[in-house]
Structure 1
Amino acid sequence: MINRTLLLASSACIALLASPAHAETAIDASDAHDASDATDQSTAENADIPRGDVIIVTARRRQETAQEVPLAISVIRADSIESTGNFNVVKLQQLAPTLQVYTSNPRNTAVNIRGIGVPFGLTSDGFEQGVGIYIDDVYNARVASAVFDFLDVEQVEVLRGPQGTLYGKNTTAGAINITTNQPTFDFEGRAEVTLGNLNFKQAKAAVSGPLSDTVAARIAVSSTSRRGTIYNVTSNRWINEQDNFGLRGQLLFKPSDDLSITLAGDYSQQDPECCGTVYVRYGPTQRRANGQFPALSQALGYQVVSTNPFDRLTDVDASLNAGNKIGGASLRVKWDVGPGTLTSITAWRFWDWKPENDRDFTGLPIVTQSQNPSQQDQYSQEFRYNYSGEKIDFVVGAFGFKQRIDTQGTEAHGPASSRWTLNPGNVPVGDPSCGPSATNQLACDPSVLDGLTARNTQYLKSTSAALFGQLSWKVTDQLTIQPGVRINYDKKSGFYQREVFDGQGNPVLFGQTDPVKVAQRGVFSPQLSAPSVSDWNFSYDLNVNYKITPDILVYGTYAKSFKTVGINQNGLPTDASGNPITAAGVIKPESVNHFEVGLKSQFWDRRATFNLAAFRTEIKNYQATVTNGQLGVLRGYLANAGKVRSQGIEADFKVRPSDRFSAYTNLAYTDAKYVKFVDAPCPPELSGGTTVTAGQTPDAPGTVGGLSPANCDISGSRLPGVSKWAFSYGAEVNLPVNLLNKDGQVYLGWDGNYRSNFSSNASPSIYTWVKGYGLNNLRLGFRGEGVDVYGWVRNVFDVNYFELLQVGPSNTGLIAGQPGDPRTWGGTIKFNF
């Protein structure tokens, strides 16, 4: 393992030893000629306008200014990312209100835009994300890449709405397009160190420069560590810490102005003790009284360490780990051929996930082991040809993708599981005899489930190929019509095998009639499935945009998109005989209809920008996570909801009247709901009781000992994880000063964000609504030529809030959660050369 400190020190020394030179923010050296016309024109038109207002993006796979792109896009540049402390996609949602990121660990991370993208809950490898994540044109199939620190990033573009034509099959909600700084033929370097409370330490360094007249190189390295925010009284350690390391290297070969070849490699590692939860509350379910959390805790002699979640105390007793490694290599070739540019991107990426979890959320030995380590390899190849003419621009291309994921899962139960899991509800509290029935005797015998282990072996093979194209026809100088098409082929095959063993290592099999084996099989049942499916899909879009004036653009978009077919990879529901229901192995692709209109404008001599978008997205066969009440289904499974819909309005405003002051605000109203979902999983208040039969009516929610529906109709309910209202805002003011013989600026910056309440359960529950909250951050510093020093405070008012609430196992009424970060503070010093 490379020593982090040595790498950082070496990079910083290289920067210090080389000749200092002030570096302006630059476009990719290999792409500079592509943007020169747009940039020169914008510069000429804005010669007397404050610097920094021309933003170059690649949202349409070519270089152009952000205000010329007829789609809803949020552009967050490196200086904003760094100054606000949003150093990964999870934190980036504070700057982009319609971006929602929820994570219980790196694997179980949901990235949504406008409330849609991926179903809320535990992740299955058998379906795709609805928000594509791209780093330097390379598609990252697993959302785990989103939880790593940004490494030498130039800017992040959040593209809102379906992007299926140019960005592929799995962008039904949008795409996150991350661009890193590229090698330069002028020497430049930077070093940054941040220290803060909670033992926060972050160091970054990057160096770029020529190796010869035709070869340039760039290397960047970063390291982040921080003490955890929850104290575990069982292990006497702070958990949910940060421990990140990243390394990126790039070589640019530019033998002529017409050809550039970039070879890039990166490696990132996380090794925190994570991710634990705290007790939040008890919410009555329909389990019988003695099967509810308070009665079970009393019977087992258990008391939660604190009933106030913001004491940040827990007592989870299983090992915790969120070991995560991701990296790869890519080769990008850009060749100007005649009137267009041919681009080839060849990439390989890997992901190695080594988790350990406490799935019962308590200090009781119920689930003593829960881990599903995975290894992924993916290969992708994309070819694009971009043509730009007086009346016609177009992009055509082909994309190929191959992926394999292997997973080895282990879930084991401990001595407290029998009472917790098998208790039918009529066991007298504190009675060691546990009642006369055989079922009660099993429930009160710790050895029945102690050591019960399920071992899962699974793999997924996925292949995809596509042809795509997008045309821009400039009908007049003001009117442009832009159609796009994509045809996509997908093939997926999976394998899942669950083997079950009792505490003595004996297999648990179907056909065994011993009551102990029957009880064990009710918790984990053996299973074997091998779903396979292939599918063709055709998607298209049409955008019409019109420039009312050079600074006012209006547009309208219709997109027909899809999310590819899926398979169930975490086990299938079973029939009355315990056999897998094979028909549930395949999930239909999502069918998306999207409508959007928008306005992009600049005024006050382009010192102010105001953008507005209104949208409506309808998805049929929405891929959702469901359960059917069977304990033997380890993690629930995937199925299609009838229809969901998301609609809303977004507004972005920024103003920079002078170099002394700038401000922005972004507002989003999102109305996202299930239009039709008649067989959804029930929320906890309607679960745990005896399932109704023909002629029976379920009892009211939270009726202890009541009758529960087999499933629930949640049509009309809000989609999980989405706030109806969200906005962000910020401002910075500065004054010129001379400090230590350096001319520069003293500046004061403030930024914040607010989100209204959202549901933290797949089916909305009265127990898992996260209250709305607002966070504010402050920074004060000095910036001069080559140096920036500032102090910062985040969550200034020390707001208590939850990032996520989770329902405990077995419908006992336990609700656990992950508190958000408390107030933090620190200082940063940056040097540029």
Structure 2
Amino acid sequence: MRQPPKTRSQISIFKASLCVGVGLSALMAAPVSAANAQEEEAEEAPRRLNAVVVEATRREGTTVQDVPVSVTAFDAALLEDTGVARLNDIEQIAPSIRVSQTESAASGTSIAIRGIGTGSNNPGFEPAVGVAIDGVYRTRTGIALSELPELAGVEVLRGPQGTLFGRNTSAGVVSINTAKPQFDPNAYIEVGAGNYSMYTVEASTTGGITENLAGRFDIRKRARDGYIDDVNSDRDLNNLDRFLMRGQLLWENNDNASFRLIGDYGQTNEDCCIGVNLVQGPTAAAVSLASSFAGLQGFVNDDPDELKVALSPNRDISDDVEEWGVSGEYKNRFGTMNFTSVTAYRDWQATRGQDVDFSGIDRAYRDGTGIKDKVFTQEFRLQDTMGNVDWLVGAFFMNEELQYTDTIQTGTQANLYTDLVSAGATANPLAPSGFQLTGSVPGIPSLFVTLPNGAPALRIAPGVPAGLAPFLIPGLGDGDGQNSDDYQVTTNAAALFTHNEVFLTDKLTATLGARLNYEEKDLEYDIFSSAPTCDFFFTPNGQSVLAQLSAIGATQLALLACNPAINSEYNGTDSDSFDETQVTGTAKLAYEFTPDFMSYISYARGFKSGGYNLDRSGFDSVLFGGDGAQPSDLQFDAETVDSYELGWKTTFNAIDATLNGALFYQQVSDFQENFFTGTNFRVINSDVESYGLELDSSIQPVAGLTLQAGYAYTKAEREDDVLTPRGDGTFELLARGGEQLTLIPEHVVTASGTYLYDFTPDLRGLFHLNARYNSEHIASAATAGIADNDAFALIGGRIGLQAADGSWEFSIFGENITDEYYNLSAFVVPEQTGTIAVYPGLPTMYGAEFKVNF
């Protein structure tokens, strides 16, 4: 049996693999003769995708080709050519990843890998795909969306993670590594400008401070106007306005010890995010009529690709973030053991305003909704070799204090809208104008009248005497509704983990990893809503009105007047808590067929803890058939994933090419989803399966030209129908079993090409093109068949001139240069049955950049 080498720098740890399957063997039977790329080879050919040195396994000096892990890694050159400036941009070059955004960039962005992600704008949900920046886990996807400084590399790890580092994740990890301080002095300034009044200013400086201490400082400002026009005002929505300031210190005492300290501060001040109308439902007439009373448009009748919307001019559309953080990474070697400690604290605060009726009517809005997230994390890792075992043990602790303050309130036309919808729903040949509930529309009779005993009765009911006085339901005033519903969730998470490679022979390696997870969550809430209509329904007359509306099948009118989002029945304070312990892990066999072809087979179990739906509409209502508000109504179960994979890594050194792939199958139990039922949000745990094929390839056919491509076939579907009780003994279908999950194309192809050409000894040209093809897919379960995305491709590019000595560079770039229209997501507009809106993707963006290095 082969003994491990005495020094870690002399080994590529995963030089072993197992080939399984006749078909796979035949596919990889082409002759290959060179050793896998080492770190020094990566320096000679830095643009080759699979020669990038990765940190996925926390072992030194390993490249993508060395590790039996489904990982795609991107070096700094490709990231710069592609224009990756934030997390959203990564999907352009990684086929297995999907980044989607809804009503808030800060709290409504989610990431999916292999079809599994957490799609919700509710901060009570943790991400299925974790994001780590310089080894520090970001607790929510939105917290990872800030501007990024100069990058050293990005790694996309597919499948459950947790036995190597950080927080456990059920679907994968995006690991972002930024440029470190350098002891050699260096600085640059970069400016850019483009369409939609876009501009960027970026500067960085680094260098040695003392013999053992180096520093780095980065500053970046990026802004552009919005690309969606509000026809009821002069606002341009969905703009960008972001600022980042970041400082680092790197201390290196000797070859063994180092300490990297990072501090950053960032701001985002944007008028984001808004959806545009796609389909108008039966209530559209009421919206348009009410808006016209204020001299406004209710909807824009243009196609969505016109990027126009009609909103209430008096309501704020904002998505603002202020954040800061500090982290310290200490490394040292004690004897032959490598020790790493990562300590971090982050303070993130987001505030947003929103026109929640997505129309020109002033029905409802958010003003000052806020999220505050304060997180402390501590991680320790210790690793060494012992005999034929390369072992790693670690511990992780996280304390998170999350506060969410929601402020859904009713506007100046809340009663007008209710009455117009009621009139339309009750209109008939004998009463063409219909009937209203609150009396806000002159000339329309009330639906109820007052009997001699003072009780209400349906005017249209048989036997009710004519000429009785109207009976009106109390209405909602401007500013009624939630008055700062406050939720606080404290999470304490602790874990012990180990990851061990056992060299069974020169070619065969076994990997065994395990993680013991402990999660504790405490919920406290203090919620209050001013809602006269809801209060009325608890009176004897209100109970009579509810019963009579139910008798004529008009319960939806009562829900319209007393939406669960503002139902005062839930007012009060309460608390709840739970804890859970889970054991997860991985087992893997890898075999090296030749120095250039290895294969592996693996099993991994992932875990994402349960939590609380931070939304009062998640409570059960006594008024509408439930058993009353209880904290347990908001709790949802943990999500677990069992993942099986067969993968391979191949190098064709004769033609300077690589071809890697993986077949995978994942069984997801209690998949966490947040569904909008038309009146409220419900958290549903369901079972999902995901399976498919992934391919990554790269080739350098001639000097200066690098071609890269990726393909992902993903089938991700629920096993059964997703149902929710209506409260009357029946169930509502929210999503069909066997249906592909939202925003997950079955086929994705990515491709990029970069060509560097020397015009003269002092002048070099850069030509870069990248593309992502997505097959057709649904934009949401509620709008399947209506707001689906057809197949489309997004193409970007960059052309530049560079000084051969690297002193300057000028380039022009474009994103979505064919101006392809697509939907980021779709949704049924609240309280507007049949009305559908969509969040459109970015139109064509282009500009020019000039960079000077010193």
How far is the alpha carbon of 1:135 from its aligned partner?
Answer: 0.9
How far is the alpha carbon of 1:400 from its aligned partner?
Answer: 0.6
Percentage of identical aligned residues: 27
Q: Distance between the aligned counterparts of 1:569 and 1:442, measured in 2? A: 39
How far is the alpha carbon of 1:168 from its aligned partner?
Answer: 5.0
> Which stretch has the larger CA shift, 795-804 or 478-487?
795-804
Code of the aligned partner of 1:716 = G
Contact 1:674–1:718 under 8 Å retained in 2:
yes
**Structure 1 pair 606–551 and aligned structure 2 pair: CA distance change class (3 A):** farther
Code of the aligned partner of 2:284 = F
Aligned to 1:82: 80
Tell me the secondary structure at the aligned position of residue 275 of structure 1. Answer: coil
> Which stretch has the larger CA shift, 651-660 or 294-303?
294-303
**Structure 1 pair 303–759 and aligned structure 2 pair: CA distance change class (3 A):** same
1:416 and 2:375 equivalent? no
Aligned to 2:482: 454
**Aligned counterpart for 1:619 among listed residues 668, 673, 676:** 668
Aligned to 2:404: 407
Q: How does 1:25-424 map to 2 (within 5 A)?
A: 42=37, 46=41, 50=45, 52-53=47-48, 54-63=51-60, 64-104=62-102, 105=104, 106-118=106-118, 120-125=119-124, 127-168=125-166, 170-282=168-280, 284=281, 291-294=282-285, 296-298=287-289, 301=292, 302-317=297-312, 318-388=315-385, 391-421=388-418, 423-424=421-422
Tell me the secondary structure at the aligned position of residue 117 of structure 2. Answer: coil
Aligned to 1:574: 620
Q: Distance between the aligned counterparts of 2:534 and 2:289, measured in 1? A: 33
Tell me the secondary structure at the aligned position of residue 827 of structure 2. Answer: strand
**Structure 1 pair 692–565 and aligned structure 2 pair: CA distance change class (3 A):** closer
**Structure 1 pair 35–305 and aligned structure 2 pair: CA distance change class (3 A):** farther
**Structure 1 gaps, min length 5:** 1-32, 285-290, 682-690, 697-708
How far is the alpha carbon of 1:770 from its aligned partner?
Answer: 2.3
Tell me the secondary structure at the aligned position of residue 78 of structure 2. Answer: helix
Aligned to 1:488: 517
Tell me the secondary structure at the aligned position of residue 144 of structure 1. Answer: helix
Contact 2:209–2:215 under 8 Å retained in 1:
yes
> Which stretch has the larger CA shift, 537-546 or 602-611?
602-611
> Which stretch has the larger CA shift, 555-564 or 742-751?
742-751
1:825 and 2:822 equivalent? no
Code of the aligned partner of 2:840 = P
Q: Distance between the aligned counterparts of 1:338 and 1:143, measured in 2? A: 39
Q: Distance between the aligned counterparts of 1:411 and 1:51, measured in 2? A: 51
**Aligned counterpart for 2:711 among listed residues 664, 667, 681:** 667
Tell me the secondary structure at the aligned position of residue 716 of structure 1. Answer: coil
1:550 and 2:595 equivalent? yes
1:769 and 2:798 equivalent? no
How far is the alpha carbon of 1:626 from its aligned partner?
Answer: 3.6
How far is the alpha carbon of 1:676 from its aligned partner?
Answer: 2.4
**Structure 1 pair 47–717 and aligned structure 2 pair: CA distance change class (3 A):** closer
Aligned to 1:737: 759
Code of the aligned partner of 1:426 = A
Contact 2:677–2:734 under 8 Å retained in 1:
no
How far is the alpha carbon of 1:590 from its aligned partner?
Answer: 1.5
1:657 and 2:657 equivalent? no
How far is the alpha carbon of 1:124 from its aligned partner?
Answer: 3.4
Aligned to 1:706: none
Q: Deviations over 1:677-725 (max 9, x none)?
A: 44259xxxxxxxxx6966x9xxxxxxxxxxxx53446221211121111
1:434 and 2:464 equivalent? no
Contact 1:371–1:411 under 8 Å retained in 2:
no
How far is the alpha carbon of 1:368 from its aligned partner?
Answer: 3.2
Q: Distance between the aligned counterparts of 2:248 and 2:830, measured in 1? A: 47
- TM-score if structure 2 supplies the norm length? 0.84
Pair member with larger Rg = 2
Tell me the secondary structure at the aligned position of residue 233 of structure 2. Answer: coil
Code of the aligned partner of 2:764 = Q
How far is the alpha carbon of 1:190 from its aligned partner?
Answer: 2.4
**Structure 1 pair 48–221 and aligned structure 2 pair: CA distance change class (3 A):** closer
- TM-score if structure 1 supplies the norm length? 0.86
Code of the aligned partner of 2:304 = P
How far is the alpha carbon of 1:753 from its aligned partner?
Answer: 0.8
1:525 and 2:577 equivalent? no
Contact 1:542–1:559 under 8 Å retained in 2:
yes
Q: Distance between the aligned counterparts of 1:41 and 1:668, measured in 2? A: 24
How far is the alpha carbon of 1:443 from its aligned partner?
Answer: 12
**Structure 1 pair 352–788 and aligned structure 2 pair: CA distance change class (3 A):** same
**Structure 1 pair 121–376 and aligned structure 2 pair: CA distance change class (3 A):** closer
1:724 and 2:746 equivalent? yes
How far is the alpha carbon of 1:444 from its aligned partner?
Answer: 9.7
Code of the aligned partner of 2:637 = K
Tell me the secondary structure at the aligned position of residue 759 of structure 1. Answer: coil
Q: Distance between the aligned counterparts of 1:279 and 1:70, measured in 2? A: 47
Q: Distance between the aligned counterparts of 1:713 and 1:272, measured in 2? A: 33
Q: Deviations over 1:364-418 (max 9, x none)?
A: 1011335520111110111100214662211101111001011222111123323
Contact 1:782–1:789 under 8 Å retained in 2:
yes
**Aligned counterpart for 1:810 among listed residues 817, 831, 845:** 831
Aligned to 2:495: 466
How far is the alpha carbon of 1:826 from its aligned partner?
Answer: 1.4
**Structure 1 pair 358–444 and aligned structure 2 pair: CA distance change class (3 A):** farther
Q: Distance between the aligned counterparts of 2:234 and 2:319, measured in 1? A: 18
**Aligned counterpart for 2:579 among listed residues 494, 510, 534:** 534
Contact 1:575–1:581 under 8 Å retained in 2:
no
> Which stretch has the larger CA shift, 235-244 or 396-405?
235-244
Contact 1:57–1:157 under 8 Å retained in 2:
yes
**Structure 1 pair 561–734 and aligned structure 2 pair: CA distance change class (3 A):** closer
Tell me the secondary structure at the aligned position of residue 83 of structure 1. Answer: helix
Tell me the secondary structure at the aligned position of residue 766 of structure 1. Answer: coil
Code of the aligned partner of 1:112 = A
Code of the aligned partner of 1:666 = G
Q: Distance between the aligned counterparts of 1:68 and 1:510, measured in 2? A: 67
How far is the alpha carbon of 1:637 from its aligned partner?
Answer: 3.2
Q: Distance between the aligned counterparts of 2:474 and 2:759, measured in 1? A: 72
Code of the aligned partner of 2:836 = I
Q: Deviations over 1:514-548 (max 9, x none)?
A: 64998554552232442210011100110111111
Contact 1:777–1:796 under 8 Å retained in 2:
yes
Contact 1:50–1:658 under 8 Å retained in 2:
no
How far is the alpha carbon of 1:586 from its aligned partner?
Answer: 2.6
